Structure 1
Amino acid sequence: MFTGLIQALGTMKPLGGDSWQISFISHSLDVILQDLAYGDSVAVDGVCLTVEKILNNGFVATASPETLRKTTLGQESMQTRYVNLETSLRVGSKIGGHFVMGHVDGIGELVSAQQTATSWEMTFSAPSHVARYIVPKGSIAINGISLTVAEYNPEAMQFQVAVIPLTYAETNLSQLIPGNSVNLEGDILGKYVEKFLTSGNPQRNVDEGNAITPAFLAENGYL
């Protein structure tokens, strides 16, 4: 589990087979290396990978064919781009973003990016199976970065986020141009809500009905 607060930037290159070398390039690499251990989980552009070998300035991990197929890590252009890096959440650590699982739901695209006086306003498209979890003021992970949805256009399946200058400069968002692909992960809370609403509450008696309805919510003090 991660928080979506990027700790360092790195590069990723193939070593043959499914093995990849991730090298740190930012000034904050010591933040990751100081307690990195064999078997640890690291989010690479929002994709949870396992550390298999520790190097002087990075680590080696395996990205399965399915991971490469369903995320931007498998795209040829990926080898020439920076990747965002975050180690897994420790018990007792601060949660400054939101709960990010490192399980990418789908690939989106940058539609536009415009600099304002206080931020960068970036618009992304999302496939329908990801867009269903997007709500205004809700959370979404873009390349592993925890961001807040400013606006959402359900007809176009596009959403906008406001990125502060620090986040823009310290992540690979600054490398994106319109048309570039990004990894998207919807908020895990939305997925559980959808599950409960569509499948009902298994703790209720079958004779009482399983659907979560306004009447059920009222009976249990939610309305």
Structure 2
Amino acid sequence: MFTGIVQGIATIEGLTDKPGLRSFRLRFPPGFAAGLEIGASVSCDGVCLTVTALHGEDAAEFDVMQQSLALTTLGSFAQGGRFNVERAAKEGAEIGGHPLSGHVDVTGTLLEVRRPENNHVMRIGLPPRWMRYVFAKGYIAVNGASLTVAEADRQDGWFEVWLIPETLRMTTFGDKRPGDALNIEIERSTQVFVDTVRDALDERLGALRPALEALLRERGLSLDEVARPLPPAE
């Protein structure tokens, strides 16, 4: 498990393609790898990877299988690329963000970047299947960082997150440009809630569901919005 609080930025020192996988050699910030062992888990841009070899005090190797390369942004990186990294949370660790599994659900697309004073706003596009789990004031993980959704538009398929200077300093988000892909992990309790409500509605409404959906559309609503969970307490 991870907390979604990025602990630093790692740089790709080497890439080696092997049958069925690609090996990444990463250089970490000083002190990040203290006590790191083979078999330990590290979140790399939100993807949980396992240490396969250690190189000195601040470098390690990770093997990434083809499925992960295809389903995440890891397959697009070259030597010199940079990852947000976080070590696995220890028992009793403070959860400064929200619990993450390191299993990416989908890649989103950075649609727009705005830079109001002392802020950095990213608008990210998602397929409709996944937007049903995204709510304003809810949590979402982007490239391994736990972020709060500022706004969400299901009709147009996007959500926005606002980043403070400290978040930009500790992550690679300042490097991202419109058109870049981003790894997205949906907040699990929200996903379970939405899917449970949808299943219950399907069971109870049956043939009436299309009529109810049409009625809600006339009023600019959807079943997802009617069944939305309450936002986290301030």
TM bucket (normalised to shorter chain) is 0.7 to 0.9
- Partners of 1:66 and 1:73 lie apart in 2 by 10
Aligned length: 198
CA distance in 2, matches of 1:22, 1:171: 19
1:137 and 2:140 matched: no
Query: In structure 2, how many angstroms separate the alpha carbons of the residues matched to 1:25 and 1:61?
Result: 13
Find the aligned partners of 1:163 and 1:79 in 2 and give their Cα distance: 27
Q: Is 2:120 the partner of 1:120?
A: yes
Q: Would the alpha carbon gap of residues 101 and 78 (structure 1) be closer, same or farther in structure 2, given more than 3 Å must change? A: farther
Partner amino acid, structure 2, of 1:132: R
User: Corresponding residue for 1:34?
Assistant: 34
> Percent identical across equivalent pairs?
31
Residue 79 of structure 1 deviates from its aligned partner by 4.3
CA distance in structure 2 between the aligned counterparts of 1:79 and 1:159, rounded to whole angstroms: 31
Task: Supply the distance in 2 between the matched residues of 1:88 and 1:60 (Cα, whole angstroms).
Answer: 16
Q: Which runs of 5+ in 2 are unaligned?
A: 205-234
State whether residues 3 and 98 of structure 1, in contact with CA within 8 Å, keep that contact through their aligned partners in structure 2.
Answer: yes
SS of structure 2 residue aligned to 1:162: strand
Query: In the TM superposition, what whole-angstrom CA distance separates every residue of 1:158-193 from its partner, at most 9, and x where no partner exists?
Result: 111110101112211011011111101110111221
Correspondence for 1:24: 27
Name the CA distance, whole Å, in 1 between partners of 2:125 and 2:104.
15
CA RMSD of aligned residues (A): 1.7
Q: Residue 28 of structure 2 contacts residue 59 of structure 2 at CA under 8 Å; is this kept in 1?
A: no
Paired residues of 1:38 and 1:51 also in contact (CA < 8 A): yes
Contact 2:11/2:81 (<8 A) preserved: yes
Query: Corresponding residue for 1:44?
Result: 44
Per the alignment, residue 168 of structure 1 pairs with 168
Identify if the C-alpha distance between structure 1 residues 157 and 177 changes in structure 2 by more than 3 Å, giving closer, same or farther.
Answer: same
Where does 1:8-87 land on structure 2 (aligned, <5 Å)? Answer: 8-12=8-12, 13-17=14-18, 18-26=21-29, 29-30=30-31, 32-56=32-56, 57-75=58-76, 77-87=77-87
